[in-house]
Structure 1
Amino acid sequence: MPTEPPSYESLVAEAESAPTDGWDFSWFEGRATEARPSWGYAVSLAGRLARADAALDLDTGGGEVMDFALARTATPPRVLAATEAWPPNAARATRLLRPRGVVVVTPAGDGRLPFPDAAFDLVSSRHPVTPHWREIARVLTPGGTYFAQHVGHRSAFELVEEFLGPLPDDVSRARHPDAESAAAKEAGLDVVDVRVERLRMEFHDVGAVVHFLRKVVWMVPGFTVARYEAELRALHERIGAEGPFVAYSARHLIEARRPLAG
């Protein structure tokens, strides 16, 4: 006898009860998928950590990416630090990364980093909220490298516009790789590599949408189920009739270096 599909109410209730701290996305298994960039950021980071003397990871989330990379680094840097502003993530990152010798600190609200000039020869970040280029340049040693994977311009806007309606093209323009490259150069860094990909995302039920928007809070600011119930119910019906909702994330890999003379 065919099984009845889960109801809108049950899917939403499950998603609302799921914890949102850290960057562990295992909750989405079987419910949503996102293609991964071809460059393999975490593995590439492990190789760079093995060659670094002092490394800083910005906006480390729950520390999962840094932990993955350090687990694959035979000779970790002598000095290891990370920043995280959101208290639940900072606590989680501290528990995960302290055994690996990483000190997790809270950055200033204005983006200033609590480190001296030229403190790190490697600064990394996976999906920073806002890259503060002048601070990145300041804490890098001459010849030091910033190596990061950023969320790009209009990432997953197919989903965002389901809730906010059509948005002008210049929304999130600051995240465009050209704009970020220009900002890095203005801060005195040499941009040595930029790679860009758009990647297919699929949401197989409305609960996955709810959990995603609760976890990635800047996508639809002020999102709550109550506020967007009409849109969520319509999406639930559409997924049931047509199959997974498809969106496309934007990612770019950026590598920038502080000049030896700077």
Structure 2
Amino acid sequence: MPAAVPDTPATSDRTAAVPVPARDAPFEEHVAWARSVPVVGLDLAPVEGRVVEDPLPWDYAALARELVASGRGPVLDLGTGGGELLSTLAPFPAGSAATEGRPSNLPVARRRLEPLGVDVRPVESDDDEQLLPFFDGQFAVVLDRHEEFDPDEVLRVLEPGGVFLTEQADSRDGVRLSTALGAPLPWDPDSVTLGAAVEVLRDAGFVVDVAREHEGLRRFRDLSSALWYLRLVAWQVPDLASLSPEAVARYEAPLRALHLHLAAGHEFVDEAPRFLVVARKPF
């Protein structure tokens, strides 16, 4: 399952000129808004207050900041998006880096992170394995918020005693919305779980120190925010990611039904389960 989207600092100035349609505005206005507002990095600012997730019982950013500032050594951030979260953790140890697999995010991340001394690299893939373009033992800390990871590669690039901190979305994330739209799931909803993550990390040679999970929910409050969110998480309903007229026509009946539900003042509630793991490479 592709990564879910983390909460990110709001930067809504660029969308201020695009008025948000009222909840009960015509269907077409909601589609037009969702098409017109740019998707930049992993920034959720355009739908702030309209796509709302339950708060987590842990603070990933605080845990990551503590590791960055610990003096352990260089830090690697996997799937940095546009660098929205990582940039808030500066200053960084010399030699720190980040990866990003979405080509449209790379220039955004580089503009944000390279002035902070972070080397941003595209991820490379071979036979469906995520190969990291770094030397063995190059990093003291690897961070990963919602990015798919290869435990053997993470172990390889960590130095002995290095720490891996990851927050992941359980693969039940987004299932209700996809089902409501009649869209096939592009992943197995039982494939990404805390138990499975702990197992693969231990099998790779990690010692798992922390393993926590959270049964969260995500609430959509209007159609335009739901459609824009599906552009951001393009893997969830790939046919709708472009919001092309043909795609909207294909899903028009369930989209209009969802709009009527939301326009009447109701919310659409989806699952947004998360889990957190802290693991270390033995000396």
Whether TM exceeds 0.5 here: the answer is: yes
For each residue in 1:158-181, what CA deviation from the matched residue of structure 2 results, as whole angstroms up to 9, or x when unmatched? 2121123697xx923231111111
1:83 aligns with 2:107: no
1:60 aligns with 2:76: no
Superposition CA RMSD, Å: 2.0
1:258 aligns with 2:278: no
For each residue in 1:91-121, what CA deviation from the matched residue of structure 2 results, as whole angstroms up to 9, or x when unmatched? 1000000111001001112311111101101
What aligned pairs does 1:1-262 form with structure 2 within 5 A after superposition? 5-51=24-70, 52-70=72-90, 73=91, 76-110=92-126, 111-128=130-147, 130-164=148-182, 171-223=188-240, 224-241=247-264, 243-260=266-283
1:200 Cα shift? 2.3
1:38 Cα shift? 2.0
Instruction: Provide the identity percentage.
Output: 36
Indicate the larger mover: 174-183 or 89-98: 174-183
Tell me, which stretches of 5 or more residues in structure 2 are unaligned? 1-21, 241-246
- Are the equivalent residues in 2 in contact too, given 1:164–1:220 (CA < 8 A)? no
1:6 Cα shift? 1.3
1:40 Cα shift? 1.1
Name the SS of the counterpart of 1:96 in structure 2.
helix
1:14 Cα shift? 0.3
Separation in 2 of the partners of 1:226 and 1:180? 39
- Are the equivalent residues in 1 in contact too, given 2:23–2:262 (CA < 8 A)? no
- Are the equivalent residues in 2 in contact too, given 1:174–1:180 (CA < 8 A)? no
Q: TM-score, normalised by structure 1?
A: 0.90
Separation in 2 of the partners of 1:213 and 1:219? 7
Separation in 1 of the partners of 2:237 and 2:54? 22
1:21 Cα shift? 2.7
Separation in 1 of the partners of 2:205 and 2:249? 46
Aligned residue pairs, count = 252
Separation in 1 of the partners of 2:189 and 2:150? 16
1:242 Cα shift? 5.2
Name the SS of the counterpart of 1:192 in structure 2.
strand
Tell me, which stretches of 5 or more residues in structure 1 are unaligned? none
User: Where does structure 1 differ by over 4 angstroms across 4 or more consecutive aligned residues?
Assistant: none
